[in-house]
Copies of this chain bind each other. A is one copy, B any other.
Amino acid sequence: MNIEETLKKIKFDEKGLVPAIAQDVATKEVLMMAYMNEESIKKTLESGYATYYSRSRQQLWKKGETSGHLQEIKGFYYDCDGDTILIKVKQIGPACHTGEYSCFHNPVVEYAFEEDMLNKLFRIIDNRKEN
């Protein structure tokens, strides 16, 4: 991994930030979304722990530094147009400051889902292609 090369692939917004989605590597649940700047990406990749940029406090924010609810980096990805980051983390304790496991604990709608055969088949084939 070359951090400088990675930074060149990332499109930062006019404030020098990029949204970063944190996903639990174990459960695959989406935990939270926060922002990173160049420095926080460097810190994240160098230290192996998620470090964001706090827009309210205007400073680097190592997730869990005071609470102990650290996020150990297990994967770091950027999307097709380089303007969003996805990190897969080993989440220590709850991710949300409310004490909830995930920040996305407010459902507006939730429908039952049963995967149909065609979709399942597509997914299996697609997975085989990739792995």
| CB of A60 within 8 Å of the partner chain | no
| CB of A12 within 8 Å of the partner chain | no
Contact: B115 with A26, CB < 8 Å? yes
Q: Among A28, A76, A108, A130, which residue has the most Cβ atoms of chain B within 10 A?
A: A108
Contact: A98 with B76, CB < 8 Å? no
In the complex this chain forms, how many copies of it are found?
A: 2
User: Interface of chain A, helix or strand or loop or mixed?
Assistant: mixed
Contact: B130 with A101, CB < 8 Å? yes
- Name the one of B1, B6, B19, B104 contacting A78, with C-beta atoms under 8 angstroms: B104
Contact: B101 with A9, CB < 8 Å? no
CB distance from A31 to the nearest CB of B (A): 10
Residues in B neighbouring A104, C-beta threshold 8 A:
77-79, 84, 86
Q: For the complex, give the distance between the alpha carbons of A80 and B31 in Å.
A: 11
Cross-chain pairs A/B with CB under 8 angstroms, 29 sampled = A19-B19, A21-B21, A21-B30, A25-B113, A26-B115, A27-B123, A30-B30, A30-B86, A33-B84, A45-B109, A75-B107, A75-B109, A76-B110, A77-B104, A77-B106, A77-B107, A78-B106, A79-B103, A79-B106, A80-B96, A80-B98, A80-B103, A80-B105, A81-B103, A84-B103, A90-B119, A94-B126, A101-B126, A101-B130
